């Protein structure tokens, strides 16, 4: 049913996208239709929302339009459909946000604030952002919304990789990350590790993989703690049992693709504290690589509004 919903509501091409979301009111209407399908929660206290009311004092490019509000039954706080999303309290027009979503889904390369702020991108995509810092903040909000919200389950492949192309002080050690992925249906979680010891790998699995799942790893001794932690562990044969970077085949493909993508982000220099957001964008982009731009756009919109 979810797949049918995406196909029915997603724009088929850029022309249909521009016609469907030609104003802030149209963008807000699309957001409200998605949020109405779930139980509304108050962004202030988390309480259940009650009846609705209408406010008509909102303008988009000089045209007044109505915005629907919910009221919390506990604290009486009034909020709109953006209340619990990354779009809450935004100063950018909703049309700008929607065009950022479309651009992120249409481009084949990782996005960056420098690209979003460039005059070529803004003229081509039809949005205007006056400061590069604002573009960076908006992209980081979107990436945070892409982060996995559920643990992986079933048969999960787990491997390690070196994260190069980081902005680091001279002499600092290279960062390492763990990649956990499911082939069908595709899902992946990537996170940096404080070290390559067995305890760090086991803690990563406990945080991101459901108990009882089958984990496929290499034969390195660093993965020995997974069986004790409540997972069913399967090891793949490999030439060098103590090489921690020998990975299951699917995770190995992801690691190589990740390294290629990181070289294209901000002159291959990313701060380590921002890696989780870039990892989330990579996982989302890889998961829906074979979908149309319109389907990726609508899926991103659903993800952001969760």
CA-nearest of 247, 215, 248, 249 to 234 is: 215
Angle at 35 between CA 29 and CA 36, to 5 degrees: 85
Predicted local confidence at residue 55, as pLDDT: 46
Residue with tokens 């793949």: 236
Distance, C-alpha 206 to centroid of its chain: 21
> In the chain, what are the domain boundaries?
2-146+289-304, 155-270
- The verdict on whether omega for the bond into residue 68 sits within 30 degrees of 0, i.e. cis, is no
If the chain, 306 residues long, is cut into consecutive pieces of 10 residues, what is the mean pLDDT of each piece?
52 87 86 71 70 47 57 76 79 90 89 86 87 90 90 92 66 73 86 88 94 90 88 79 76 86 68 84 88 90 85
Q: Give me the sign of the Cα torsion angle 93, 97, 102, 104.
A: positive
- Which residues are CB-contacts of 163 (< 8 A; sequence separation ≥ 6)? 174, 175, 176, 177, 192, 262, 275
Whole-prediction pTM value? Answer: 0.82
Topology, domain 155-270 = Nucleotidyltransferase; domain 5 (3.30.420)
Predicted local confidence at residue 25, as pLDDT: 83
Predicted local confidence at residue 56, as pLDDT: 39
Strands (DSSP E) found in the chain: 49-60, 63-72, 78-80, 155-163, 175-182, 187-193, 214-217, 232-235
Predicted local confidence at residue 212, as pLDDT: 92
Predicted local confidence at residue 138, as pLDDT: 92
CA-nearest of 117, 105, 129, 134 to 17 is: 105
Predicted local confidence at residue 39, as pLDDT: 62
Predicted local confidence at residue 113, as pLDDT: 85
Predicted local confidence at residue 142, as pLDDT: 93
């Amino acid at each position: 049913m979810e797949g049918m919903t995406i196909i029915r509501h997603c724009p088929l091409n850029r022309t249909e996208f521009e016609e469907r979301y030609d104003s802030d009111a149209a963008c807000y209407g699309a957001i409200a239709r998605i949020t109405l399908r779930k139980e509304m929660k108050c962004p202030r206290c988390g309480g259940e929302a009650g009846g609705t009311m209408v406010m008509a004092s909102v303008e988009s490019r000089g045209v007044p339009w109505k915005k629907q509000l919910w009221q919390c039954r506990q604290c009486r706080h009034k909020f709109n459909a953006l209340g619990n999303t990354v779009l809450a309290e935004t100063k950018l027009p909703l049309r700008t946000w929607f065009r950022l979503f479309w651009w992120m889904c249409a481009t084949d390369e990782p996005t960056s604030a420098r690209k979003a702020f460039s005059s070529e991108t803004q003229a081509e995509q039809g949005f205007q952002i006056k400061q590069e810092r604002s573009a960076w903040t908006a992209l980081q909000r979107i990436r945070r919304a892409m982060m996995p919200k559920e643990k992986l389950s079933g048969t999960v492949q787990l491997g390690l990789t070196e994260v190069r192309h980081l902005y680091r002080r001279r002499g600092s050690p290279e960062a390492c990350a763990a990649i956990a992925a499911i082939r069908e249906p595709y899902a992946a979680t990537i996170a940096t590790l404080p070290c390559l010891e067995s305890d760090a790998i086991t803690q990563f699995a406990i945080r991101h993989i459901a108990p009882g799942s089958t984990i496929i790893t290499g034969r390195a001794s660093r993965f020995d703690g997974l069986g004790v932690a409540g997972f069913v562990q399967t090891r793949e044969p490999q030439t060098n049992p103590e090489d921690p970077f020998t990975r299951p085949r699917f995770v190995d493909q992801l690691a190589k693709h990740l390294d290629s993508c990181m070289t294209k982000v901000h002159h291959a220099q990313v701060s380590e504290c921002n890696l989780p957001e870039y990892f989330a964008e990579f996982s989302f982009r890889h998961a829906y690589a074979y979908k149309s731009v319109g389907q990726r756009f609508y899926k991103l919109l659903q993800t952001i509004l969760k």
